[in-house]
Every structure is written in C-alpha cells, then in structure tokens.
Amino acid sequence: MATTTAPTSSHRAEAHQQVKHRPDRNYRRRQRWGWLFVAPFALIFLTFLVLPLVFAFRMSLFTSTLATGDRFVGFANYAKAFTDPLFLDGLLTVAKFGLIMIPAQMIVALIAALVLDNLATWASKFSRLMIFIPYAVPVVIGALMWGFLYSPRFGPASTVFALFGAEAPNFLAQDSIFGSLVNIVTWQWAGYYMIIIYAALRGIDPGIYEAAVLDGASDRQIATRIKVPMISSSLVMVVIFALIGTLQFFTEPQVLRGVAQGAIPTDYTPNMYAFSLAFSYSQFNYASAISFALGIVVFVFSFFFLFLTRKQSGLK
Amino acid sequence: MALVTDTLDPKQQGGRGRSTASRTRARSGGPRIGSHIFLLILVIYFITPIWWLTVASTKDTAGLFSGSGGPLWFDDEFHFVDNVQGLFDRQNGIYWRWLGNSFLYAISGGVGATVLAVLAGYGFAKYRFRGRGAFFGVLLGAVMVPLTALVIPTFVLLSEVGLVNTIWAVILPSLLSPFGVYLMRVFAQEAVPDELLDAARIDGAGELRTFFTIALPLLRPAIVTVLLLSVVGTWNNFFLPLAVLSDPLLLPVTVGLNGWTALSNAGSGGEALWNLITTGAFISIIPLIIAFLSLQKYWQGGLSLGSLK
C-alpha cells in the first residue's frame, strides 16, 4: 500500500497545481458529505438533548395550578429553588459526597493502577479483571447487594465483627448511611477508573523509566514524578466523570432508601428531590426548574474544573 | 524492572548511587510480595459482594436469614433450581420478560447509539463542513450535561407525543451518546489516514464506499469500546425507565427487581421475595460479566481513548 500511495499523492499534488479550479470545487463539494454523516446523530441530539433542555427551561418559567392553569412567572421558580432549603441541602449533600467520594475513588483507582503497572504476573492480570468486574454489575443490583450486606438481618457484618470481638455498627443508621453510600460508589466505579488510568500508564514509553533508573530513582519516585504527571490528562478525565456522576447522585440512595428505613429522605439529593416533586407531587414546572438548575451547577463545576486543570489536560 | 536495576548495580560506584541502587534491589523482593498482598485485599473487597450474591442465589428465604453456612458460605440445602423455578412461577415468569426487555433496550439502544456515533465521529474527523467547529463545541459542552437532568423534561416531552409507557420511551433517548461521538472522532482522526481515503477516491470509490471499505475496518477497536460503553449504559439505566415506564410488562430487570425489593421491605403483609430477588439479581449480572471477560482485549485499550490528545 505504502509504495502505491506515495507516488499517487505526489502525482496528485502536481495535478492539483496544474488545474487549480476543479479539485478545489470537488474538495469543497465533498466536504458537504460531512453533514450527511453527522445528520443522524444531529437529529437525535436536537430531539433528546436540545429540545428537552429548551422545553425544561420554558416549563421552568411557568407555574401550573388547577385554578389558573399555566401562568408565566419568569425566574420565580429559580428564585424559589435557590432559596429552597430542601434543594440547597441536597446540593450541600452532593458537594460533601464529592469531597469524600471522588478522592476515595481516585486514590483506590490510581494506587491499584500503579501497582498493576509494575507487575506482569498472572495474579496481577487476574486482579485487574476482578477489580474491574463491579463495573459490569448494574448500579441498581450493586446497591441492592450492598443493602443486603449492610443489613443486620442478612449481612455477614455481625459474623465478621464478632471474629474481632466487636459489635457490628448499623450501616443503615442515619449517621452512618453517608459512609455506606461512599463505599457502594467506590466499589462500583473504582475499577472502571483504574482501567482507564492503567491503559494510560501502559501507553507511556518505558524508555523514560530506564533513564530515571540510571539516575537512581526509586519505584515510588518514578510513580510520583514521572508516571502521574504523564497521565494527567487521563486523571482529569476520570475526575470529570466522577464529578458529573456525583452531582447527579440518584440511583444508590434511591435504592437504599427502601432498606434503610428512615435514614434517607426523599429529598436527599437534588435529583431525588426533582424526582419526587415530579412524580409524587406532580409539580413538573418546579421539578424542571430544579433539574435545570442542577444541570447548570454541574456544567459550571465541570467547566471550572477543566479551566483549573487546562495545563494538565492539554485542552485549551 | 528488577532486571534492569540488577544489571545496572555493579556499574554504580558513587556512594549515593550505590545506596539508592541497593535500596531498590533490597526492595525488589519486598514490594512484589507487598504488592500482591495489596492486590489480594483489593480483590477480596471487590469480589465479596458478588461471591455473597452467588451463594445467596442457592438459598431459600429461611436460609438467607439463618442458614447453616452463614452469609458467605453455602447451606446444606441447595435451592438454586427451586429459586429459578420460582422465577418462572412468579406472576407467570415476569422476571424473564424483564430480562428480555433489558436485552432489547440495551442492544437496540447500544447498537443504535454506536452506529450514530461512528457516522458522526467519522464525519467530524474527516470532513471540514460549515458549522463543524461550532457543532463540535456544543457537543463537547453536552458531554458535561448530566443526562439525568434531562429525564424529567424528556418524560414531559414524550408524554406530549404519546410515547410514554412504550418501549420507544427508553430506546430513543438511549440513542444519545455525545461521549461516544467524541471518542470516535478522536480515534478516527488518528487511525484513518487522509492519504488512504484520497487514494480510494482516486481509484474512483464514492464517499460511502470509501467509508465502508476503508474507514470502518480501521475503526473496529473504537467501535467495540463505544458499543460496550453504550450497551452497559442502557443496561444499567434506572432513572429513565423508572420515570417513563409504568406498565410492569415493559420494565427492564433493574427497575423490576427494585420493585420487588420495595415490596419485600414494606413488610406488613407484603410478600418476602428475597430468594427470588437474589437469584434474579445473580442471573441478571451474568451476561455482562461474560461479555466483558470475553471482549477484554478490545475494551482494555479502548477505554483510555478519550484522554488521547
């Protein structure tokens, strides 16, 4: 292939110079094919992303009552949302989750990936797969399983703690539910992030380490001074994934709510609040405002983070 | 790594050099054992819940509460077959219907999203049409729009056109995968050389034929990755089907099992279906685990695509 392409392309360059008009017109006409390739996706994009967003925004500007029907209220729903203690508490909750959960997942994923990168045994290959497996388990099933494991009725906790002569804590009580949820999310996602980081580590040219070893660098120095900086764009991507996931926290607390009687209110996170407003109280206008407000918060946070890390991520 | 330090060791003469080298060598036995112990702990942590579920699927409800083997080991009695039979008996085997629905949604949504992503990613990477930069910028922003924020507006929108409570209410929104398009574009830019496309054009191939015969085979690793990601995304989806479906016969297995759990937790006269829930959950996680294990050579490299520059 290489032998045939090289002469053709040089030949084409000549032809290109001799008859300038025709290839140019062809070239420009060909670019329209781009739209045809993009069109099917663009249709779905408009219908299921742009349209719902516009629609939600429009809905959020109205209130609907049985007596008066739809009434335009401008930004009143937003004023209400950002002074609504239930929504603000929810935001605070997911912010707290973000502060604990994202570092927890990152630390487990990064250390596991660095350890795996240094080993090439069958045990390390096996471990890599096992650590990743929870990603293949649907979040609902993961939360259900942990609900069982936490449960004092079914779970092994009392047996395990009895081995150490201790009494098992109640994982589903009001003051321990936060940690229990952090654990579920870390279990579910750390393996996925680990694989992304691991693949990035594998992409580094090992020649770089040889130079560092010559200079007398230890494994730990190589990890912190060479490997981590070189995969910073992957790390930024993983943090963005984790950030977006955390701010829209819904499934795990929603599922665990049933098991942990009374420990998780229906307005625990903004998404749960919007869900219960819409489907328990039929307040679709206010729920849209909450959804939209949450969307804006997520968007601003991710953009802000990308801006802060623009050097590391290589995005400009 | 250890090999490199060992061969280098004799050459290191200076005091500082030697001490570092000997430290590396002294550690080279240690870290390996240490690393493996660390991995063992991680593996136990990540695998215990799945092990528990495997064991639990062989117990009846009484065994789940107070089995002879404890929560993490099999009981003397083996009830897996009874439980599977129970899944067939309960509400005329609605569980299998749910599992079938999950397959239908995940495969049609996943394949559809992948086809759209491949076409769009290739279009963005290989043509300079008007509005390309603007559209791609919007798309990058859309990667950061939380998809759950769209669920309630999508519900209202779908109910306006009468699609709520049909399979389309789950499948159509699942076709949206801005991240898949982004991955495809990044990959197509690197993996499909312009020269190859030009050569095909000079040979008289049309744009579509060039795409199908030249570009598509080169895109295969990214296609498998995007397909897996979008199948998993749809298979895992909970919020969307929970919101848009109310007919029990249309539910995917995630929402269905969650309903059974709520029923069992309600206690007071509510039926305890614990053994069916554990067995149903166990069966439902098998297909994806098999898919990941058998396709590992594709996704392991593919998942890091997004961070390529």
Percent of chain B exceeding pLDDT 70 equals 83
If asked whether residues A295 and A198 sit together in one domain, one would say yes
User: Are residue A30 and residue A82 in the same domain, yes or no?
Assistant: no
- Residues A117, A48: one domain? no
Interhelix angle A139-150/B253-265, nearest 10 degrees:
30
The pLDDT of residue B16 is above 60: no
Contact A273, A86 (CB under 8 A): yes
For residue B20, the model assigns a pLDDT of 40
B153–chain A nearest CA distance, Å = 5
- Do A138 and A266 have their domain in common? yes
Touching A: B residues 75-114, CB under 8 Å: none
Mean pLDDT of A65-85: 84
**What is the spatial distance between Cα A186 and Cα A184, in angstroms, rounded to a whole number?**
6
**Cα–Cα distances in Å, from A275 out to A138, A201, A308, B62, B89?**
20, 40, 32, 35, 33
Whether B153 and A288 lie within 8 Å, measured CB to CB: yes
Has residue A32 been placed in a domain? yes
pLDDT digits (tens, 9 = 90+) for A202-258: 888 888 888 888 888 888 888 888 898 888 888 888 888 888 888 888 989 988 888
Inter-chain touch A156–B71, beta carbons under 8 Å = yes
Identify the burial level of B70 via C-beta atoms within 10 angstroms of its C-beta, where 0-12 means exposed, 13-18 middle and 19 or more buried.
middle
**B145, A53 Cβ separation under 8 angstroms:** yes
CB contact under 8 A, B300 and A199: yes
Q: Is residue A230 domain-shared with residue A163, that is, in the same domain?
A: yes
B157 Cβ under 8 Å from any chain A Cβ: yes
Average pLDDT over residues B77-105: 88
Average pLDDT over residues A60-82: 84
pLDDT at res. A155: 74
Between A and B, how many CB-CB pairs are < 8 A? Answer: 322
Residues 6+ apart with CB under 8 A from A195: A113, A128, A132, A135, B299, B300, B303
What is the reported pLDDT for A304? 84
Q: Is residue A4 part of a domain?
A: no
What pLDDT, in 10s, does the model give residues B36-87? Answer: 899 999 999 999 999 989 988 888 877 777 766 677 777 777 888 888 888 8
How many structural domains are present in chain A? 2
Does any domain span residue A198? yes
How much of chain B exceeds pLDDT 90, in percent?
30
What is the band of B146 on the pLDDT scale with cuts at 50, 70, 90? Answer: confident
- The answer to whether B128 contacts A34, with C-beta atoms less than 8 Å apart, is yes
Flag if A127 and B307 touch (Cβ within 8 Å).
Answer: no
User: Would the pLDDT of A160 be above 80?
Assistant: no
Q: Say if residue A159 is in the same domain as residue A187.
A: yes
Distance CA B131, CA A225 (A): 42
* The pLDDT of residue B5 is above 60: no
B164 touches chain A (CB under 8 A): no
Q: Answer with the residue of higher pLDDT: B270 or B150.
A: B150
In terms of domains, do A56 and A87 share one? no
Tell me: pLDDT of B89 over 60. yes
For chain A, the average pLDDT equals 83
Look up tokens 């054009």; give the residue: B201
CB contact under 8 A, A219 and B31: yes
Domain identity same for A50 and A196: no
DSSP annotation string for A22-68: HHHHHHHHHHTHHHHHHHHHHHHHIIIIIHHHHHHHHHHTEEEETTT
Q: What is the mean pLDDT of chain B?
A: 81
Same-domain check for residues A173 and A31: no
Q: Is A134 part of a structural domain of the chain?
A: yes
Confidence of residue B106 (pLDDT cuts 50, 70, 90): very high
pLDDT at A97 over 50: yes
Is residue A206 included in any domain, yes or no?
Answer: yes
Tokens 């729903």 belong to residue: A77
Beta bridge partners of A65: A69
A55 and A89 in one domain? no
Whether A103 maps to a domain, the answer reads yes
Q: What pLDDT shows up at residue B270?
A: 54
| Band of pLDDT at residue B307, cut at 50, 70 and 90 | low
The ipTM of this complex is 0.82
Q: Do A8 and B199 touch (CB under 8 A)?
A: yes
Confidence grade of residue B30 (pLDDT, cut at 50, 70, 90): low
Give the residue numbers spanning the domain of A37. 15-60
Give the Å distances, CA to CA, from A105 to A100, A172, A247, A300: 9, 21, 15, 22
Whether residues A41 and A146 fall in one domain: no
Higher pLDDT, residue A69 or B218:
B218
Residue B3 has pLDDT above 90, yes or no: no
User: What would the mean pLDDT of B146-174 be, rounded to a whole number?
Assistant: 88
Q: Assign residue A69 a region: left if phi > 0, alpha if psi is -120 to 50, beta otherwise?
A: left
- Mutant choice from A12, A38, A195 vs B, greatest count of B C-beta within 10 A: A38
- Looking at residue B98, its pLDDT comes to 95
CATH number of the domain where residue A248 is located = 1.10.3720.10
Residue type, A12: R
Indicate whether A25 pLDDT > 80: no
In percent, how much of chain A has pLDDT > 70?
90
Q: Are residues A206 and A240 in the same domain?
A: yes
